[in-house]
Amino acid sequence: MKKFGVTLGILGAISAFMFGTAYGISQVPEPVVKTVIQEVPVEVIKEVEVVKEVEVIREVVVEVPVVSPNGQPDMAYFPSYSAAKEWLAQDKTDEIPFNGWRFDCNNYAQTLMENAIRDGWYISTDARCTSTGCHMYCTTIINGYLFEIEPQTDMISRWLTLK
């Protein structure tokens, strides 16, 4: 009898569970479906094809001869005493009027040097000082000899042997 009571109890519990579940499900309201129109931000992603950029460097070596105004391949010393005298004769530095402190020996020397460089010749400036003062002049090398040039008079004289 005990077995029968346990079986009835289990069957009763199962029936109650099933009845309760069926009753609970039938009591759930139907879901309400609402249609809502709402703007949603959209991000547009464009696909980009990446092309690998390659830089090609080509080194081109070109030899360009540099010719100065004197016709030499580059700046040069005068080839001869007569070439220096000829250039000095056409240069007009010695014709600039002396103007005391405004245009004096250093200005003549600087002007003669700049004119020589413009024409492709090497001439430099130099100065000699004594107890009575200083004087500026130009120098150049001709055939291994150092020549002094007085820019105010175009006088050129050999000053030192470099050979």
Query: Residues 8-44: pLDDT tens digits?
Result: 556 555 665 565 555 555 566 677 777 778 787 878 7
* Residue whose C-alpha is closest to residue 89's, from 159, 158, 155: 155
Q: Rounded mean pLDDT of 139-159?
A: 91
Assigned domain for 141 exists: yes
Assigned domain for 158 exists: yes
Assigned domain for 4 exists: no
Assigned domain for 81 exists: yes
- Is residue 83 very low, low, confident or very high in pLDDT (cuts 50, 70, 90)? very high
Assigned domain for 32 exists: no
CA 132 – CA 135 distance, rounded (Å) = 10
CA angle 102, 103, 107 (to 5 degrees): 130
Domain of 101 in residue numbering reads as 42-163
Give the pLDDT confidence of 42-55 residue by residue, as tens digits: 787 887 776 787 78
Give the pLDDT confidence of 119-145 residue by residue, as tens digits: 889 999 999 999 999 999 999 999 889
What local confidence, expressed as pLDDT, does residue 47 receive? 79
CA angle 7, 13, 15 (to 5 degrees): 100
- Give the up-direction half-sphere exposure of residue 122: CA atoms within 13 A in the CB hemisphere: 14
Assigned domain for 5 exists: no
Assigned domain for 132 exists: yes
Q: What residues contact 12, with CB distance under 8 A and at least 6 apart?
A: none
- Is residue 7 very low, low, confident or very high in pLDDT (cuts 50, 70, 90)? low
Number of domains within the chain: 1
Q: Rounded mean pLDDT of 91-112?
A: 88
Q: Rounded mean pLDDT of 75-97?
A: 92
Give the pLDDT confidence of 104-116 residue by residue, as tens digits: 889 999 999 999 9
The enclosing domain of 59 has a CATH number of 3.30.460
Assigned domain for 7 exists: no
* Residue whose C-alpha is closest to residue 127's, from 137, 139, 117: 137
Whether residue 96 is predicted with pLDDT greater than 80 in this model: the reply is yes
What local confidence, expressed as pLDDT, does residue 79 receive? 92
CA 21 – CA 36 distance, rounded (Å) = 34
- Is residue 69 very low, low, confident or very high in pLDDT (cuts 50, 70, 90)? low
- Across all residues in the chain, what is the average pLDDT? 79
